[in-house]
Amino acid sequence: MTIFLTGVSGFIGRGLYEKLLDLNDCSVIGGTRFKTLDSGFAFVEYGNVNADTSWLKLLYNCKVVIHAAGVAHISQYSVDTSKLFARVNVDGTLNLARQAASSGVERFIFISSIGVNGNQNHIPFTAEDVAAPQEPYAQSKYEAEVGLLALAKETGMEIVIIRPPLVYGPDAPGNFGKLVRLVEKGIPLPLGAIHNKRSFVALDNLVDLIVTCIDHPAAANQVFLAGDGEDLSTSELLRGIATAMGKPSRLLPVPESWLRFGANLLGKEEVVDRLLGSLQVDISKTRDMLGWTPPISVEEGLKRCFAKE
């Protein structure tokens, strides 16, 4: 089996590529937007991802495509960034999928986002919930999902959609990376009395789920939520990060109401919502249909973030 993986130089793609190299009876083509000289791997370059990208040479004889490339982690949204999300995450994804179908690819695995379900909840999201994306990034992922499922009906190519929450691991970007840097600096944080619940997924757990979906018969044309199966409050996550780093957590038990009041004064409501709000996922469908269990715990996942090689 030949697998084509996009976004191989990214955080998820890099970890997945290394895992795929260890699989028996499998050859892997790792594709990246632009080659990096110090990657240590023989990646192929495909340039910008959009409606005009030509993939046919890279898709020759491939049976599975795993699409991990995309645009994310843009802190300030604007009309231009929304257009960028649409151009890369929607048009680029569907263009790749159409060429994959015409090239005889049997299964297309798309790494989406739990943001398709929404930003916060009081009841854990399920894969069957009505989509409610709240931001341009999540909206672009949802539109790509809709297009892919329509393409599956049109062409017969199997589609698998995986929606992870925040992914953490060594050198993780985004919000997890920001929390790590705060703990590393040793600055006292007013986040010691937060009682929310949030789901996360360790990179190793997400990679294991993606690998499971490569050839599992029950995965065809399904949407799966990813997660560690253990939910933490923001306070618990910060303490876990500090423990894994071997540093004190330095968390001050400031009441949540005070934090929200201060955020309103400073116009930082969205930032505080991410820190104080709950976002849980129900992975029972993933467990039941695929017979899948997250192979490592949150504690082990955090340890691996800072393990010295």
161 and 48 inside one domain: yes
**CA-CA distance, 139 to 113, in Å (whole number)?**
10
Q: Which of 62-71, 73-82, 177-186 has the lowest mean pLDDT?
A: 73-82
Domain count for the chain, please give it.
2
Residue 184 resides in a domain: yes
68 and 210 inside one domain: yes
What pLDDT, in 10s, does the model give residues 73-110? Answer: 665 556 688 899 999 999 999 999 999 999 999 999 99
Residue 306 resides in a domain: no
114 and 24 inside one domain: yes
158 and 239 inside one domain: no
103 and 147 inside one domain: yes
Q: What is the pLDDT of residue 37?
A: 47
48 and 185 inside one domain: no
Q: Which of 17, 137, 142, 168 is catalytic?
A: 137
What pLDDT, in 10s, does the model give residues 213-224? Answer: 999 999 999 999
Q: What is the pLDDT of residue 47?
A: 87
Residue 124 resides in a domain: yes
The pTM for the full model equals: 0.93
Segment 208-233 mean pLDDT: 97
pLDDT at 273 > cutoff 90? no
Q: Which of 15-29, 147-161, 219-233, 256-270 has the lowest mean pLDDT?
A: 256-270
111 and 183 inside one domain: no
3-class SS of residue 66: strand
Please report how many Cα atoms fall inside a 13 Å half-sphere around the Cα of residue 127, on the Cβ side.
Answer: 22
Residue 183 resides in a domain: yes
Segment 56-62 mean pLDDT: 92
**CA-CA distance, 205 to 294, in Å (whole number)?**
5
101 and 116 inside one domain: yes
Q: What is the CATH number of the domain that holds 225?
A: 3.40.50.720
Q: Identify whether 168 is a catalytic site residue.
A: no
Residue 51 resides in a domain: yes
151 and 185 inside one domain: no
Residue 305 resides in a domain: no
Q: In what order do the strands lie in the sheet with 158-163?
A: 44-45, 27-32, 2-6, 64-67, 107-111, 158-163, 222-225
Cβ atoms of 274 and 160 within 8 Å: the answer is: no
pLDDT at 39 > cutoff 60? no
Reference 166, options 217, 133, 205, 135; nearest CA is 205
114 and 211 inside one domain: yes
Residue 204 resides in a domain: yes
**CA-CA distance, 155 to 3, in Å (whole number)?**
19
192 and 50 inside one domain: no
The tokens describing 34, both together, are 């632009």
What pLDDT, in 10s, does the model give residues 13-35? Answer: 999 999 999 888 889 999 988 76
Please report how many Cα atoms fall inside a 13 Å half-sphere around the Cα of residue 48, on the Cβ side.
Answer: 8
Domain extent at residue 181: 174-196+232-276
Q: What is the pLDDT of residue 233?
A: 96
**Can you list the positions of beta strands (E) in 115-217?**
158-163, 166-168, 198-202
Residue 304 resides in a domain: no
Cβ atoms of 174 and 166 within 8 Å: the answer is: yes
Reference 138, options 201, 86, 173; nearest CA is 86
At CA 125, angle to CA 159 and CA 160, rounded to 5?
10
**CA-CA distance, 150 to 144, in Å (whole number)?**
10
241 and 134 inside one domain: no
